[in-house]
Amino acid sequence: MNPNDVLAALPLGVLTAVTMTMLLLDLFGLCTSRLLWGLSACFLAWVFSCTQFYISEVGFSGLVFVDGYTTVLSTLILAGTALSLLLSHKYLGLQRAQTSIDVDVLILLAAAGGLVMVAAAHLIVIFIGFELLSVCVYVLTGIARKERASAEGALKYFLLGAFSSAFLLYGMALVYGATGTMFIEEIGQVGGPDNVLLLIGIGLLIFGFGFKVSLVPFHLWTPDVYQGAPVSVTTFMAVVVKTAAFGTFLRLMYVAFGGMTEWWEGLIWTLCVLTMTVGNLAALRQSSVKRMLAYSSIAHAGYALMGFLALGPAGGAEATVFYLLAYGLMTVASFGVVLVATAGSDAQYGNDDISSLSGLGFSHPFLGVVMTVSMLSLAGMPPLAGFMGKLYLFSAAINSGFVGLAVIAALNSVVSLYYYLRVLVVMYFSGERTLSWAPPRGLEWAPKASLGLVTVGTVFFGLFSYLCYPAIEVAIKSLG
Amino acid sequence: MEVTQFYLVLGAVLFTLGTLGVLIRRNTIVIFMCIELMLNSVNLTMVALSRQFGEVSGQVFVFFVMAVAAAEAAVGLAIIMTAFRNYHSVRTTDVHDLAG
């Protein structure tokens, strides 16, 4: 075993070892503080993944990358996992979901799948990470199994997820057939654009990843699944699954197919415009808060995709990674408020009409502030993180000559302002000062900490984005 | 060379049949079987290519696909069961509350 293998294995090994220990201790009734165990697993895995930051090599005979990109994406995944664990603490019971240790274990194992994916340097490893993540999340979606909505969401997610991974696999098979190798760096060296098999393979891979990050037209599952799943699981899906899939997708396009951008640029451009526009227009006419946020997350996937068109010196890859950070922060905040505000009521599965938030700003001032910051950031208001993220993306797109795309994205941002501000209007100006239904119990410290952290983060990374941008630049440099 | 091409064509045909099945059928169990058909067509393609190139990574991939398909089947059938308990049906047209 050479030192790189150890560095690559440590974060994953620690995360899975702690998770397995939790399961074992729970068997004897000894795992008393699941939250503490889960958080320390995330923290330890993060510490070990930091050791790879300044390296740019491969481990396990070329199967995984040991580089800064892995570190940065692992940081996002683990932070998202920790925040989801904090949010689900004590709240799963209120969501009529299973409260046993399975939930925490599945969340941690899904995070391990995400870590495998973003480090993968070989098609088999990408596939294994992808499925480890997906299978855990299928189960998590249906974890409130007495709820019709949860069961329906799980069924839809499972069937469409398995369908899309078949496409991903067939894409991998065709790429292998065209290039004779499964190492993504070698694919980049061997592959030429005159190869029809390779082009079809790339198309199918984009289909598979497009499903996971919910690009239009592969987005049809997203609103139903986001609405049907317990809100703490929805948060995890919207943040961690999307970050891991986007991170892997970006690495694949950059390393394996970065030399033939002119052959897939048109496809990505179309997907990008469709995703932004359809996501925003559909969000306009939603009455359910969860569905509205689901369509908004589709629209944001469209923005993040803009970076794929400006790889290299234009700075698109950096902008996409920064956008994933900003998107994660604001999404945890918005779904977190919905979770806390609807917990224990019928509003959490289906009846979460936007008017159920009326008066929230006065009855729960803390939640009001968190929601306000998150909505303004999602709408792209300066000086919040969402604004800086869009600024980087738009300027990257303009740098590489996609002015039209930047204009379409800016128009979309204006449209999105309407439905984000509607939430604020309902919260503060509906004339009500109390919630219309029985308010949830006093706020637990764990979700409060989670919501506070992401709100501070949204403001901080908006004002001081230049503090974290160099780290992202190191990461993208390590891609080669 | 020609033999490999036959297997590739067979793989593509099976994959298309599976895709059509997923899109047309309404029974979730049958849809799930069609997905398995798609996975197996990928396996066939992988093995044929691996044989063509004279190296093993395609065949190793097949083992992983089979293992993952087994895990997916376990989870998937459990999810279909949960849906059946709530809706007393496994047809996609019946399991359909969420929309908007």
Lookup: tokens for A227: 């609405």
CB atoms B79 and A149 under 8 Å: no
Mean predicted lDDT score pLDDT of chain A: 91
Q: Is the pLDDT of residue A105 over 70?
A: yes
> If phi over 0 gives left and psi between -120 and 50 gives alpha, with beta otherwise, what is residue A56?
beta
Q: Please write down the HEC assignment for all residues of A251-283.
A: HHHHHHCHHHHHHHHHHHHHHHHHHHHHHHHHH
pLDDT at B42: 97
Average pLDDT over residues A50-59: 91
CB atoms A152 and B65 under 8 Å: no
- For the four alpha carbons of A372, A373, A377 and A381, in that order, the dihedral sign comes to positive
Q: Which member of A135, A142, A172 has the closest CB to residue B82?
A: A142
Share of chain A residues as helix, strand and coil, in percent rounded to the nearest 5: 75, 5, 20
A contacts of B78 (beta carbons < 8 Å): 139
B contacts of A127 (beta carbons < 8 Å): 61, 64-65, 68
d(CA A49, CA A190): 31
Rg from Cα positions in chain B = 17
First to last CA, chain B: 52
How distant, in Å, are the alpha carbons of A101, A173, A439, B17, B41 from that of A140?
12, 30, 26, 31, 29
Shortest Cα–Cα distance, A121 to chain B (Å): 14
The 3-state DSSP class for residue A120 equals strand
Beta-carbon pairs below 8 A across chains A and B:
126
CB atoms B71 and A131 under 8 Å: yes
- The closest alpha carbon to A35, from A345, A342, A445, belongs to A445
Residue A288 contacts B where some CB pair is shorter than 8 Å: yes
The predicted-structure confidence for A290-301, as pLDDT tens digits, reads as follows 999 999 999 999
Q: Residue written as tokens 């069609």?
A: B34
According to DSSP, residue B54 is labeled T
pLDDT at B96: 81
Single-letter amino acid, residue A172: M
Which of A140-154, A293-307, A333-347, A435-449 is the least confident region? A435-449
Burial A437-462 (b: 16+ CB within 10 A, else e): eeebeeebebbbebbebbbebbbebb
Q: Which member of B22, B95, B100 has the closest CB to residue A155?
A: B95
d(CA A239, CA A330): 10
Q: Across the strands, what pairs with A183?
A: A122
Shortest Cα–Cα distance, A151 to chain B (Å): 5
Q: Which member of B8, B57, B98 has the closest CB to residue A149?
A: B98
The predicted-structure confidence for A451-463, as pLDDT tens digits, reads as follows 999 999 999 999 9
The predicted-structure confidence for B22-32, as pLDDT tens digits, reads as follows 999 999 999 99
Contacts of A27 (CB under 8 A, 6+ apart): none
Shortest Cα–Cα distance, A119 to chain B (Å): 18
Q: Is the pLDDT of residue A114 over 80?
A: yes
- For the four alpha carbons of A141, A144, A150 and A152, in that order, the dihedral sign comes to positive
pLDDT at A434: 74
Helix ranges (H only) for chain B are 2-24, 28-53, 57-87
Q: How many Cα atoms sit within 13 Å of A105 on the Cβ side? A: 16
Q: Is the pLDDT of residue A440 over 60?
A: no
Average pLDDT over residues B42-59: 94
Provide residues of B within 8 Å CB-CB of chain A.
8, 11, 15, 18, 22, 28, 31-32, 35, 38-39, 41-42, 45-46, 49, 53, 55, 57-58, 60-61, 64-65, 68, 71-72, 75-76, 78-80, 82-83, 85-87, 92, 95-100
pLDDT at A243: 97
A contacts of B79 (beta carbons < 8 Å): 138-139, 142, 151, 154-155, 158
The fold of B2-87 is Helix Hairpins (1.10.287)
- B-contacting residues of A 210-239, CB under 8 Å? 223-224, 227-228
Lookup: tokens for A135: 């299978």
Q: Residue written as tokens 């239009």?
A: A216
- The closest alpha carbon to A393, from A381, A410, A412, belongs to A410
pLDDT at A442: 64
Nearest residue of chain B to residue A224 (CA atoms): B98
Q: Is the pLDDT of residue B15 over 80?
A: yes
Task: Band the pLDDT of A100: cuts 50, 70, 90.
Answer: confident
First to last CA, chain A: 25
| Polymer length in residues for chain B | 100
Shortest Cα–Cα distance, B80 to chain A (Å): 6
Task: Band the pLDDT of A439: cuts 50, 70, 90.
Answer: low
Shortest Cα–Cα distance, B89 to chain A (Å): 11
- Around Cβ A254, how many Cβ atoms within 10 Å? 23
- DSSP codes joined into one string, A342-405: HTTSGGGTT--BGGGGTTHHHH-HHHHHHHHHHHHHHHT-TTSHHHHHHHHHHHHHHHTT-HHH
According to DSSP, residue A46 is labeled H
- Around Cβ A148, how many Cβ atoms within 10 Å? 20
* Strand residue runs (E) in A25-87: 56-59, 64-67
Instruction: Assess contact for A227 and A291: CB atoms under 8 A.
Output: yes
Nearest residue of chain A to residue B45 (CA atoms): A173
Average pLDDT over residues A246-260: 93
Q: What is the dihedral of CA A101, A107, A113, A117, to 10 degrees?
A: -170
B contacts of A142 (beta carbons < 8 Å): 79, 82
Q: Is the pLDDT of residue A194 over 80?
A: no
Percent of chain A with pLDDT over 90: 74
pLDDT at A147: 87
Percent of chain B with pLDDT over 70: 97
Supply angle C-alpha A317, A319, A325, rounded to 5.
110
Angle between helices A403-429 and A385-399 (to 10 degrees): 170
Rg from Cα positions in chain A = 21
Average pLDDT over residues A163-169: 96
Average pLDDT over residues B46-61: 94
A contacts of B42 (beta carbons < 8 Å): 166, 169-170, 172-173
The predicted-structure confidence for A385-437, as pLDDT tens digits, reads as follows 999 999 999 999 999 999 999 999 999 999 999 999 999 999 999 877 777 66
* Strand residue runs (E) in A224-375: none
pLDDT at A223: 94
B contacts of A146 (beta carbons < 8 Å): 86
d(CA A177, CA A166): 16
pLDDT at A193: 67
d(CA A273, CA A299): 9
Q: Is the pLDDT of residue A30 over 90?
A: no
According to DSSP, residue B27 is labeled B
A contacts of B28 (beta carbons < 8 Å): 155, 159
Percent of chain A with pLDDT over 70: 96
Which of A82-86, A143-147, A350-354 is the least confident region? A350-354
- Structural domain including A211 reads 3-477
Task: Band the pLDDT of A346: cuts 50, 70, 90.
Answer: low
Lookup: tokens for A311: 């790889």
Shortest Cα–Cα distance, A217 to chain B (Å): 15
Lookup: tokens for A304: 């993040």
Contacts of A384 (CB under 8 A, 6+ apart): A330, A373, A376, A377, A458, A459, A462
Listed by start position, the domains of chain B span 2-87
Q: Which member of B39, B57, B98 has the closest CB to residue A182?
A: B57
CB atoms B86 and A148 under 8 Å: yes
Q: What is the largest CA-CA distance in chain B?
A: 52
Shortest Cα–Cα distance, B29 to chain A (Å): 10
Q: Residue written as tokens 């692992």?
A: A74
**Total number of domains constituting chain A:** 1
Q: Is the pLDDT of residue A343 over 90?
A: no
Q: Is the pLDDT of residue A117 over 60?
A: yes
CB atoms A152 and B87 under 8 Å: yes
Supply angle C-alpha A140, A145, A150, rounded to 5.
65
The predicted-structure confidence for A205-233, as pLDDT tens digits, reads as follows 999 999 999 998 999 999 999 999 988 89
The 3-state DSSP class for residue A59 equals strand
CB atoms B45 and A163 under 8 Å: no
